[in-house]
Amino acid sequence: MILEKIQKNTKILLIIIPIIAFFLWIKIFIFYEGEMKIYEDENFFFQKILNFFKENNILDILYYISFVLLLLQTFFLQKFNSDFSLIKTKTYLPSFFFITLIISCQEKFFISSFFISNLFFLFSLRSLTFQTKEKNLFDNFFSSAFFLSIASLFYPYFIFYFSIIFYTLISFRSFNWREWMVVLLGFFIPYLFVFVYFLFKNDISFIGNHFGYLNNLHFNINIKNISILQILFYFSIIFLILSSIVFTITNLHKSKISERKFFKILIFSIFVSTFISFFTNVNTSIIFIFAVPSSYLISYYFLFFNKNKNWWGNFLFYIYIIFLILLQF
């Protein structure tokens, strides 16, 4: 079975997964037409970076940089799991689901700040994944807030993910006002440096332009320019995510304290992502953020089926693979 082969912790998958990603992405390197596609809602800060590449006529390089960033995040996700034993069974399933979820989103085949923001989101998530019994975690909470603040510089909606840090402080820590102050300090420092930079550049409109991106928030489900096949695929992903959440919650009592903490953070981050996904300025590219927590939860779900030789898991996995193939045409 394909699921059984992929879930194994074999070194050959370190080569196979990037190859799969390359062949799914290759049409972007070769077949894109006309002017490069850039996410139209990119924020003020990222536009500064884009302008630099445009002025030097090297915008094409960003396609390759995006692909490299995607691979880095995939391997970081795998190392993250290995270092902390987040999923008891050593497996490459999280990496497989992460990279295929990202590439399945056709709208992400353009230049976007997501590729940068999501990397810092992973760094932030890693800083939160520690034993809850440790007394002094100032460095960890500062790092988590600091990385998430940098992520929000490239994509302002990441500000909402600070609720994950506050959720961790409330749910897993005894109240310590110093930890809350450290989190706020970690958030403000990147913005302070950026503000000072633009102040010297005599361009203090940065803050207004940056957060002006959030001014017109209102709930609206926008499915324009999404094919029927994509809609069906996203519904199947929603089904997998919901099933994984229910399964994880019902089996949390079997996990270690650190594992329970991690999966609760993942589930909470999915709720935050869902909240953001209803905003007008956010399209199907939100799957890029969903991909991080979903890849772990879905992997945990499928590993249970594979361990118990359940046909339902293989059936769902085949459906997922079929959708991935069809979306390439």
pLDDT per residue as tens digits for the range 254-296: 777 777 888 888 899 898 888 877 765 555 566 777 888 888 8
Query: Who has greater pLDDT, 51 or 108?
Result: 51
Give the span between the Cα atoms of 244 and 249, in whole angstroms. 8
pLDDT range class, residue 182, cuts 50, 70, 90: very high
Q: Is the pLDDT of residue 145 over 80?
A: yes
pLDDT at 13: 64
Tokens at 164, concatenated? 């994950």
Query: Who has greater pLDDT, 56 or 185?
Result: 185
Q: Is the pLDDT of residue 199 over 60?
A: yes
Give the span between the Cα atoms of 262 and 242, in whole angstroms. 17
Q: Is the pLDDT of residue 35 over 50?
A: no
Contact 329, 24 (CB under 8 A): no
Closest CA to 316 of 97, 33, 26: 97
pLDDT at 292: 86
| Averaged pLDDT, 222-250 | 81
| Averaged pLDDT, 289-316 | 79
Query: Which pTM value belongs to this model?
Result: 0.83
Give the span between the Cα atoms of 55 and 209, in whole angstroms. 21
The pair phi, psi for residue 136, each rounded to 5°, is -110, 105
pLDDT range class, residue 189, cuts 50, 70, 90: very high
pLDDT at 133: 46
pLDDT range class, residue 117, cuts 50, 70, 90: confident
Which residues are CB-contacts of 42 (< 8 A; sequence separation ≥ 6)? 50, 112, 113
Block residue for tokens 């402080």: 169
pLDDT at 31: 55
- Cβ neighbours around 70 below 10 Å, total: 22
Give the span between the Cα atoms of 252 and 239, in whole angstroms. 20
pLDDT at 9: 54
